[in-house]
């Protein structure tokens, strides 16, 4: 076994390549959707549309995606530049580093955080509806 296969740097490189492939796929799908609707990419697809497609590629279960969609819509309306006091981005996290990430990374961070803290997107959405925050 090559020692580089187990070190964290090699894993990050592979992870970044996979993320780039998924982003490219999202852009291609978005372009196709725009073309089918008779719109060009520049005029027909917004960043929030790309983020929604990307989030759905990360959350395959449609019910869980719908819960995530509702949560992010309530928190920030899918705006990467959203800010509420000391909370930033689409997931309204308090970490200042999160506020400097691109939208795709915000989706990744939000999915990881919600999964770790609540176990599922729907659990987080239920918590949000009961408490008004997550």
Quote the CA–CA distance of 96 and 126 in Å, as a whole number: 26
**Crossing angle (nearest 10°) for helices 103-118 and 8-36:** 110
Query: Stretch 100-119: mean pLDDT, rounded?
Result: 94
- 44-84 confidence digits (pLDDT tens): 678 898 999 999 999 989 999 999 999 999 999 999 999 88
Task: Note if the pTM is more than 0.75.
Answer: no
Question: Which helix (H) or strand (E) is 37 found in, with range?
Answer: none
Question: What pLDDT is attached to residue 133?
Answer: 79
For 21, how many CA atoms within 13 A lie in the half-sphere containing its CB? 6
CA 74 to chain centre: 15
Place of tokens 């279960």: 61
């Amino acid at each position: 076994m090559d020692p580089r296969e187990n070190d964290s740097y090699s894993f990050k490189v592979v992870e970044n390549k996979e993320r780039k492939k998924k982003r490219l796929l999202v852009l291609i799908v978005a372009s196709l959707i725009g073309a089918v609707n008779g719109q060009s990419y520049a005029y027909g697809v917004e960043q929030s549309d790309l983020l929604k497609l990307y989030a759905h590629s990360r959350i395959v279960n449609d019910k869980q995606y719908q819960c995530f969609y509702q949560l992010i819509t309530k928190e920030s309306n899918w705006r990467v530049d959203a800010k509420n006091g000391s909370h930033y981005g689409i997931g309204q996290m308090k970490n200042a580093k999160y506020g400097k990430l691109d939208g795709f990374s915000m989706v990744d961070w939000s999915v990881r955080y919600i999964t770790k803290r609540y176990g599922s997107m729907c659990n987080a959405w239920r918590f949000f509806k009961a408490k008004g925050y997550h």
